[in-house]
């Protein structure tokens, strides 16, 4: 998804609508400064004997479910400290050893990602579940990388938001598997947990299709590639969420099916949009869903549903396509509006997603205030990126799209995918809207949406979180490696703001901390 026009003053606008992020004070902060990690820790109680990593330390893991986490943690400690650290099953240890386990987590909300670090002669890492145990190792690794001795005390930590993500636009710019794995390692190190892959767009459909081999791009991922990637991501507590965008942004699919392209009454043909009044369009889209939904074991499937009538740089009107109105009235009754053909398509796709045991998601811009006679299923998660809606000039800050608060009141969960500052666009005119990391750190948090509205605490309970959304509008501008390097600091800011307060001091302090914790082990 991208927009084709953007206000030159986008950064200024973000600053105008934003208010400063309000962190929460450290628990027991008056007793001493907390250990410093990225993202920062929720609660710290100093006291007792400090920990020093043993020259021949053991990482004792309590259950088989923690074996991989313990093994990876020990390998990373060897890499960063030079100490001879190995993983071993068991629950006892000598001074300088580390114990890894799971159990109850007093003082933290009941969630599997909560964890505790007890710092004494041994380092005790305990998660509410395996996810929390993994995040305990991420924090411990950052601490021991900075210094192999840690002041005595207790850390209790948990995320503010359920989703903390990275989206990669591999539909426009193919990204090699090694790069995807590197980003997964980076996500685990920063406690990010959702990798959203935008798998189909202008320049290709990136999945190997058995049912429709004609739509598969030359650069693509095999089904075994995806299985391996999903397994690799799970090791780092990262869920892979696929997106195949319907009914717009289908250039890579429609190049092989020009007969299904949307045609206006005056004969104009869209390369991006499929004709949802044509029954054969549903055959093709249904085949794609049925083939690939079983490939991804995660909880979600993203249907896209953005910018349906965006034709190049021109935004069309539903009234220009007489067949859409005819189809809507035939399918949904004489009172139906042309937009109901689009809303019905969303519900049709969502039914298929549910039948495969997953929860559907879409982008928000196709949901307009007062448009259509149909409503979309309230279990659909709405990724909120733009206020503009369609048909309208594609400027994301103003317009007729339903507000985040309205969608929540209707029963939806949302994710804050604000065009600014959650987007990073590599190439094209919309790259002018990229917000520098210092501004995002100082002025934004996931309660603040692109239209300038901020959710109340009650509303925010239905906000799953946010992420960094990396779009490759012009894939000739930067290589995948250059993109990965460019998003280093934005991704760190994303991790801090989605894990939640307190912040790690000023941006200069945050940047220095980021340098100190560095990148994860290869």
H-run or E-run covering 459: helix 457-460
Quote the CA–CA distance of 140 and 146 in Å, as a whole number. Answer: 10
pLDDT score of 16: 34
Quote the CA–CA distance of 149 and 35 in Å, as a whole number. Answer: 11
Query: pLDDT tens digits for the chain (522 residues)?
Result: 444 334 333 433 333 333 333 333 344 434 446 799 999 999 999 999 999 999 999 999 999 999 999 999 999 999 999 999 999 999 878 999 999 999 998 899 999 999 999 999 999 999 999 999 999 999 999 999 999 999 999 999 999 999 999 999 999 999 999 999 999 999 999 999 999 999 999 999 999 999 999 999 999 999 999 999 999 999 999 999 999 999 999 999 999 999 999 999 999 999 999 999 999 999 999 999 999 999 999 999 999 999 999 876 677 889 999 999 999 999 999 999 999 999 999 999 999 999 999 999 999 999 998 889 999 999 999 999 999 876 555 578 888 899 999 999 999 999 999 999 999 999 888 899 899 999 999 999 999 999 999 999 999 999 999 999 999 999 999 999 999 999 999 999 999 999 998 888 999 999 999 999 999 998
- What is the DSSP-derived secondary structure letter of residue 371? -
Q: What residues does 344 pair with on adjacent strands?
A: none
pLDDT score of 398: 84
How many degrees, rounded to 5, is the angle at CA 175 between CA 174 and CA 179?
A: 175
Q: What residues does 115 pair with on adjacent strands?
A: 127, 157
CB proximity list for 1: less than 8 A, separation 6 or greater: 198, 245, 249, 304, 306, 307, 363, 385, 471
The full set of domains in the chain, from first to last, is: 43-157 (3.30.379.10), 160-517 (3.20.20.80)
Burial class from Cβ neighbours inside 10 Å (0-12, 13-18, 19+) for residue 6 reads buried
Query: Can you give the pTM of this predicted structure?
Result: 0.94
Distances (CA, A) of 380 to 25, 179, 198, 350, 409: 35, 30, 18, 8, 13
- What is the DSSP-derived secondary structure letter of residue 432? G
Do residues 337 and 373 make contact, with C-beta atoms less than 8 angstroms apart?
yes
Do residues 166 and 136 make contact, with C-beta atoms less than 8 angstroms apart?
no
How many degrees, rounded to 5, is the angle at CA 15 between CA 14 and CA 20?
A: 115
pLDDT score of 31: 46
- What is the DSSP-derived secondary structure letter of residue 369? T
In the sheet with 204-207, reading across from the earlier edge strand, the strands are 200-201, 204-207, 216-221
pLDDT score of 446: 97
pLDDT score of 390: 61
CB proximity list for 456: less than 8 A, separation 6 or greater: none
CB proximity list for 489: less than 8 A, separation 6 or greater: 437, 511, 514
pLDDT score of 391: 54
H-run or E-run covering 515: helix 507-517
- What is the DSSP-derived secondary structure letter of residue 210? S
Count of residues for the chain? 522
Residue entry with tokens 């027991």: 28
pLDDT score of 312: 66
Quote the CA–CA distance of 61 and 86 in Å, as a whole number. Answer: 11
| b/e per residue 440-457 (b: at least 16 CB within 10 A) | bbbbbbbbbbbbbebbee
Render 79-135 in DSSP notation, one character per residue.
HHH----EEEESS---TT-EEEEE---TTS-S-TT-EEEEESSSEEEEESSHHHHHH
Render 317-359 in DSSP notation, one character per residue.
-GGG-HHHHHHHHHHH-TT--THHHHHHHHHHHHHHHHHTT-E
How many degrees, rounded to 5, is the angle at CA 471 between CA 434 and CA 165?
A: 90
Render 151-168 in DSSP notation, one character per residue.
-SEEEEE--SSSEEEEEE
Residue entry with tokens 């004969």: 267
């Amino acid at each position: 998804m991208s927009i084709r026009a953007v206000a030159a003053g986008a950064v200024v606008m973000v600053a105008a609508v934003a208010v400063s992020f309000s962190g929460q004070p450290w628990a027991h902060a008056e007793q001493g400064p907390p250990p410093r990690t990225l993202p920062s820790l929720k609660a710290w109680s100093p006291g007792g004997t400090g920990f020093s990593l043993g020259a021949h330390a053991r990482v004792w893991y309590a259950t088989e479910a923690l074996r991989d986490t313990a093994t990876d943690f020990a390998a990373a400690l060897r890499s960063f400290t030079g100490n001879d650290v190995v993983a071993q099953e068991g629950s006892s240890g000598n001074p300088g050893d580390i114990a890894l386990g799971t159990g109850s987590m007093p003082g933290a909300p009941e969630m599997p990602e909560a964890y505790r670090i007890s710092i004494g002669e041994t380092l005790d890492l305990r998660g509410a579940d395996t996810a929390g145990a993994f995040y305990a190792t991420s924090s411990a690794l950052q601490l021991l990388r900075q210094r192999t001795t840690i002041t005595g005390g207790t850390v209790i930590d948990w995320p503010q938001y359920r989703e903390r993500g990275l989206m990669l636009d591999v539909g426009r710019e193919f990204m090699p598997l090694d790069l995807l794995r590197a980003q997964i390692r980076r996500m685990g190190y920063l406690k990010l947990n959702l990798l959203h892959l935008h798998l189909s767009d202008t320049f290709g459909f990136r999945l190997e299709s058995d049912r429709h081999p004609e739509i598969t791009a030359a650069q693509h991922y095999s089904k075994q590639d995806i299985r391996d990637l999903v397994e690799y991501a799970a090791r780092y507590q990262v869920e892979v969420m696929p997106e195949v965008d319907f009914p717009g942004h289908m250039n890579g699919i429609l190049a092989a099916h020009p007969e299904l392209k949307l045609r206006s009454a005056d004969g104009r043909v869209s390369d991006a949009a499929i004709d949802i009044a044509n029954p054969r369009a549903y055959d093709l889209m249904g085949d794609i869903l049925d083939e690939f939904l079983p490939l991804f074991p995660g909880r979600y499937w993203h249907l896209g549903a953005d910018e349906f009538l965006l034709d190049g740089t021109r935004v069309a009107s539903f009234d220009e396509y007489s067949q859409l109105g005819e189809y809507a009235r035939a399918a949904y009754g004489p009172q139906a509006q042309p937009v109901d053909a689009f809303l019905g398509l969303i519900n049709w796709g969502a039914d298929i997603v549910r039948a495969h045991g997953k929860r559907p998601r879409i982008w928000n811009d196709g949901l307009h205030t007062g448009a259509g006679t149909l409503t979309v299923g309230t279990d659909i998660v709405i990724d909120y990126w733009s206020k503009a809606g369609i048909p309208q000039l594609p400027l994301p800050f103003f317009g007729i799209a339903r507000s985040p608060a309205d969608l929540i009141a209707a029963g939806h969960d949302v994710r804050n995918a604000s065009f600014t500052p959650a987007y990073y666009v590599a190439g094209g005119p919309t790259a002018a809207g990229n917000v520098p990391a210092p501004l995002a750190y100082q002025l934004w948090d996931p309660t603040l949406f692109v239209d300038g509205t901020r959710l109340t605490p009650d509303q925010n309970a239905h906000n799953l979180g946010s992420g960094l959304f990396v779009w490759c509008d012009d894939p000739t501008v930067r290589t995948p490696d250059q993109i990965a390097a460019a998003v280093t600091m934005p991704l760190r800011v994303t991790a801090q703001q989605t894990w939640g307060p307190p912040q790690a001091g000023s941006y200069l302090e945050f940047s220095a901390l980021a340098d100190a914790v560095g990148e994860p082990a290869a």
